[in-house]
Amino acid sequence: MLKSMRPERVHILSRRPSPSKQDWVLYWMQASVRVIDNLALEYAAREAASRKLPLVVVFGLKEGSVDSGPRQASFLLDGLKYVARTLRDMGILFIVQNLPPHDAALDVADRAALTVMDMGYTGMQRFWRREFVRQAPGPVMMVEDNVCVPVESVYEKPAVGARVIRPRINRVREEYLSDRIGLVETPEKPTHFDRDITDAEDPVLDKSALGTRPTPVSTLRGGGDEAEKVLNRFLEERLDRYGEDKNDPSKNATSGLSPYIRFGHISVREIARRALSVGGRGTEDFLEELLIRRELAVNYAWYLPEYDNPGTLPAWARDNLDAHSADSRPYLYTEEEMESGSTHDPYWNACQKEMVHTGCMQGYMRMYWGKKVIEWSSDWRAAWHLLMKWNDKYELDGRDPNGYAGVAWCFGMHDRPWAQRPVFGAVRYMNDSGLRRKFDIEAYVRDVTARITEAE
Ligand SMILES: Cc1cc2nc3c(=O)[nH]c(=O)nc-3n(C[C@H](O)[C@H](O)[C@H](O)COP(=O)(O)OP(=O)(O)OC[C@H]3O[C@@H](n4cnc5c(N)ncnc54)[C@H](O)[C@@H]3O)c2cc1C
């Protein structure tokens, strides 16, 4: 039955018998807000067609799914609107409810022969899933399609670094990238409900629960259609020079895809397949980030569910930071001084403002950003919590395993001990002279200033 998809992508979450009234198969959309290359949706459609039942798709839009304010919410909504238009054209009913995700799914699961869901890895997504499975009236399956290789098939415990998962993923990656079921046609959508349910043509949010900040980013729209454009531009214009220039903050060499990946607006497997088909110099460097580094972050969030807590750090890193906690710091800043980008360091101020105003900090600068907050805080654990908080609050791609693993990396996670130095001990250090030596960092500062003006 699963000839075209590796069976380990499918997880059986509940074997309860189907309810007596079976009017549809339900796909609970949560982490994969897309129609194209969505294996959970394709799996659900095939199950519906084989039972001669319509397919219903549901998404819940409250509590946690949008709790970082209007910025992420408006990006998510762009994606939902695109999904709504696409599913309507295909004759598939899409319901978006202003309910917590698991409640939205439970609301329509009572007449579902089967519920299929996609897979997210954060604590909030795991909570919704647990709650749903606890109360679901029928069988529940989960299809793991937001990674190249399912997390537990790659490695059975927390990985110490990329080197332990790289050979395992690279050995099988073409096989897993080619998984595909195809979206089969399903019977006409249901029209009779015992309560007020309509097609989500134009999903809207209860904005009162969101507050006002951080504001949406006017220069960036979400959605699968936008993601395709961003991917096409990257493959045509920048993939070739990705390896040489990806770290250089003044070169704009990276893909800019992380917010779209974060909301599942585009599939990582599709991105990887397209990069491989274009080929050329930058491809392997790009796949190292997209598949290995990203799936290392998924491993971190999956096996260490306390991922936003410094207790997850390796002992050597914690011991070193503790041993140097009384070292004198060259500068100490308050939370407000740092949040507003008012330190003595123009490069750090630029990247902080880039994040606050544009929602996307350049990748290399994210490392520098984290290292400096450690250096300028009197307590490294306070620095940890500040970084986690700002990353989740301002980055469009925040609240994602990559963000948690990225912040943890600044404190030694997935890294090795380096030479001893004040404040950091053996944890890797970065400084501004490195930025000046390697890059035209002044050009980066000018570029950020111009982009902030455009975004406002
Ligand atoms: C302190 C810190 C915080 C970070 N916060 C986030 C975050 O909230 N969300 C997020 O997606 N990434 C985060 N990263 C990882 C990385 O910086 C971003 O994924 C990358 O900069 C996004 O830009 P891009 O899409 O142009 O990446 P590209 O260079 O084009 O890479 C393609 C894709 O590969 C993945 N990727 C790239 N670099 C990494 C990496 N180091 N670790 C894991 N996956 C990677 C991303 O999905 C990215 O979209 C963080 C890194 C650090 C050091």
| Per-10-residue mean pLDDT, the chain, length 456 | 81 96 96 97 97 95 69 91 92 90 94 97 96 98 98 98 98 96 91 66 64 83 97 98 97 97 98 97 97 98 98 98 97 98 98 96 98 98 98 95 98 98 98 97 97 84
Which residue among 402, 410, 414 has the greatest number of ligand 1 atoms within 8 angstroms of its CB, and so is best to mutate? 402
Q: Has residue 407 been placed in a domain?
A: yes
Q: Report how far apart the first and last C-alpha atoms of the chain are (Å, whole number).
A: 52
The alpha carbon of 64 and the centre of ligand 1 are apart by a number of angstroms equal to: 22
Confirm whether 79 is domain-assigned.
Answer: yes
Cα(147)–Cα(161) distance, rounded to whole angstroms? Answer: 18
Tell me which of 240, 251, 283, 289 to substitute to probe ligand 1's pocket, judged by most ligand atoms within 8 Å of the beta carbon: 289
- Return all residues near 393 (Cβ < 8 A) that are at least 6 apart: 68, 69, 214
Nearest Cα residue to atom 18 of ligand 1 = 363
The DSSP symbol for 293 reads I
Q: Which amino acid is at 403?
A: G
Residues 327 and 375 reside in one and the same domain = yes
Distance CA 382, CA 384 (A): 5
How far apart are the C-alpha atoms of 234 and 246, rounded to whole Å?
Answer: 12
Protein residues whose CB sits closer than 6 Å to any atom of ligand 1: 246, 254-258, 261-262, 289-290, 293-294, 297, 363, 366-367, 370, 391, 395, 397-398, 400, 402-403, 406-407, 409-410
Asked if 411 and 394 sit in the same domain, the reply is: yes
pLDDT at 186 (0 to 100): 94
Ligand 1 atom 10: residue of nearest CA:
402
User: Which ligand 1 atom is nearest residue 257's CA?
Assistant: 25
pLDDT score of 267: 98
pLDDT at 215: 86
Q: Are 127 and 155 in a shared domain?
A: no
CATH number at residue 282: 1.25.40.80
Cα(282)–Cα(94) distance, rounded to whole angstroms? 39
User: Do 124 and 246 fall into the same domain?
Assistant: no
**CA-CA distance, 290 to 149, in Å (whole number)?**
12
Same domain, 235 and 374: no
Q: How far apart are CA 84 and CA 99, in angstroms?
A: 17
Indicate if 272 and 171 belong to the same structural domain.
yes
The H or E element containing residue 141 is strand 140-143
Asked if residue 82 and residue 38 are part of one domain, the reply reads yes
Assigned token pair, 266: 């585009």
- Looking at the structure, tell me whether residues 283 and 346 fall in a common domain: no
Domain boundary among the residues 245, 274, 304 is at 304
| Count: domains in the chain | 3
Q: Alpha carbon of 453 to those of 195, 219, 250: distances in Å?
A: 48, 11, 17
| Domain co-membership, 156 together with 285 | yes
Question: Which letter does DSSP use for residue 57 in this model?
Answer: E
Total residues found in the chain within this entry: 456
Q: Which of 276, 304, 332 is the last residue of a domain?
A: 304
- Which pLDDT belongs to residue 249? 98
295 and 365 part of one domain: no
pLDDT at residue 64, rounded to an integer = 61
Q: What is the CATH number of the domain that holds 12?
A: 3.40.50.620
Residue 75, phi then psi, degrees to nearest 5 = -65, -45
User: Whole-angstrom Cα distance, residue 123 to residue 145?
Assistant: 18
Nearest protein CA to atom 20 of ligand 1, as residue: 363
**pLDDT value of residue 218:** 87
Residue 213 lies in a domain: no
Cα of 195 to ligand 1 centre, how many Å?
43
DSSP 26: E
425: amino acid identity, one letter: G
Q: Where are the alpha helices (DSSP H) in 211-290?
A: 224-237, 242-245, 258-262, 268-278, 283-287
What is this structure's pTM? 0.96
Calculate how far, in angstroms, residue 361's C-alpha sits from the geometric centre of ligand 1. Answer: 9
User: Residue 274's domain spans which residues?
Assistant: 147-180+222-304
Sequence-ordered list of residues with C-beta below 8 angstroms from that of 453, at least 6 positions apart, any chain: none
**Predicted local confidence at residue 255, as pLDDT:** 98
Closest C-alpha residue for ligand 1 atom 17: 363
Cα gap 270→276, rounded to integer Å: 10
User: Smallest Cα–Cα separation from 26: which of 130, 82, 101, 126?
Assistant: 101
What is the sign, positive or negative, of the torsion defined by CA atoms of 18, 19, 24, 25?
negative
Strands 55-60 and 112-118: unpaired
**pLDDT of the residue at 14:** 98
> How do strand 140-143 and strand 10-14 relate by DSSP bridges?
antiparallel
Same domain, 160 and 137: no
